[in-house]
Homo-oligomer: A and B are copies of this chain.
Amino acid sequence: MPDLDLMKTLTQKTDSKIIMLVMDGIGGLPREPGGPTELEAASTPNLDRLASEAMVGLVDPVGVGITPGSGPGHLGLFGYDPLQYLIGRGVLESVGIGLELTSDDVAARGNFCTVDAGGIITDRRAGRIPTEECARMVGLIDDIILPGVELIVKPVRDYRFALVLRAPGLSAELNETDPQKVGAEPLSVGPLDGSPEAGRTADLVNQWLDQVRERIKDESPANMVTLRGWSKEPGLPGFEEVYKLKAAALAVYPMYKGLATLVGMTLIPGLNDLQDQLAALKKEWDSFDFFFFHYKYTDSRGEDGDFDAKVKEIETVDKIIPTIVDQKPDVLIVTGDHSTPAILKSHSWHPVPVLLWAPATGRANPDVTGFNESQCLKGALGQFRGTDLMALATAYAGKQAKYGA
């Protein structure tokens, strides 16, 4: 399998344009034995026509039999081996709300929780307080000062917030403070290794937690916090360095914006729905070579276990395909970061349908008439690992030099 160093040496700057449309959690399963999957049940004339003109296949975003989280799933599609590049939850949450992390930063995902008078957790999510209440609570603790370290505290969504400590010589080798159950106190932070860096960072975090406790102890329902997913910015080589692609991220949800920034994509701000994304695609067309276009709700309805609603979301995306095609991309990819079969109500390990449409250099699948799991089984692309997708995309976009003489 090609790796990033190989890609760096082979890819070259061209005028060609690539669009990667990620329908989150798109892969599915039949609701009843012998029945159609979500994609098979959906009416998708536009995707079906593309499939008949394109090459289709199945992609394993992480590996055969592995159920990808959103982070590893996207990294795989972007060509970064998720088994090699690990991204902590703290970093994901932070970049997801637009924080630009530096190599000095240590990030955690924070949860507001409820504790009783004795400090025992009675609700790990403080009744799932709404985002506005989360923002108010963050306002009570975002001006805490510690010596020698810059602190950033930002609300994320519902009961979740991001905490970043910025100073040279910090370590993310820290234990989480969430005891993972009610009826116990939040843990204090300690170093996971014996390093002085982790010891010093743990001391700083514990001082911060003491001040947080003091400031919000009389609030309700949230009156304490837990911290999880300690991590540092992974320092991934950027899309431009690896693929010679100036890349734009057209995403609505923080998590996917965050993933895009980690690989050096430019976030197009202020996008709230598909129409915004389409308008941005048009507006930014001349400024970028690669467009990551993310749609969340196929996954959301799969996670809800709502087969019919997922079918509807698929049909919603199908309707915008002509507008995307109107841009005349050199390569258009349609796939997902993992499967989310409604009958499983969760991400799954099933390989994900993928479509690669490259009008200039592609070839049609003679037997393929639609875009779904059973059609993709017959596809010219076969079944392959996620990390191979960008190699294919750049090849079909004419961006790759010959390997060797």
Contact = CB atoms under 8 A, between A and B. Distances in A.
A404 interface: yes
A226 interface: no
A313 to B, nearest CB: 20
B363 A344 contact: no
A401 B392 CA distance: 29
A344 B364 contact: no
Interface residues of A, number: 64
A65 B389 CA distance: 8
Interface in A34-58: 34, 37, 53, 58
A392 B64 CA distance: 7
A174 interface: no
A124 interface: no
Interface in A346-405: 346-350, 361, 363-366, 373-374, 377-378, 380, 382-384, 388, 390-396, 400-405
A363 B29 contact: yes
Contact of A71 (B92, B350, B405): B405
A2 interface: yes
Contact of A404 (B65, B72, B403, B404): B72
Given A344-B361, A349-B395, A65 B2 contact: yes
A393 B349 CA distance: 11
A37 B363 CA distance: 9
B363 A30 contact: yes
A363 B373 CA distance: 10
Interface stretch (A83-91, A264-272, A292-300): A83-91
A168 to B, nearest CB: 27
- Best-buried of A378, A384, A404 by chain B (most CB within 10 Å): A404
Contacts of A404: 62, 68-73, 82, 86-87
A403 to B, nearest CB: 5
A229 interface: yes
Interface string A1-41: 11000100010000000000000000001100110010000
A277 interface: no
A185 B70 CA distance: 54
A201 interface: no
A336 interface: no
A66 B89 CA distance: 33
Contacts of A391: 63-66, 349
A82 B393 CA distance: 21
A302 to B, nearest CB: 14
Given A68-B404, A349-B400, 12 more contacts: A65-B390, A65-B392, A66-B395, A71-B404, A72-B403, A82-B404, A341-B361, A344-B361, A348-B361, A349-B396, A365-B377, A382-B383
Interface of A: 1-2, 6, 10, 29-30, 33-34, 37, 53, 58, 62-73, 82-83, 86-87, 89, 92, 229, 341, 344, 346-350, 361, 363-366, 373-374, 377-378, 380, 382-384, 388, 390-396, 400-405
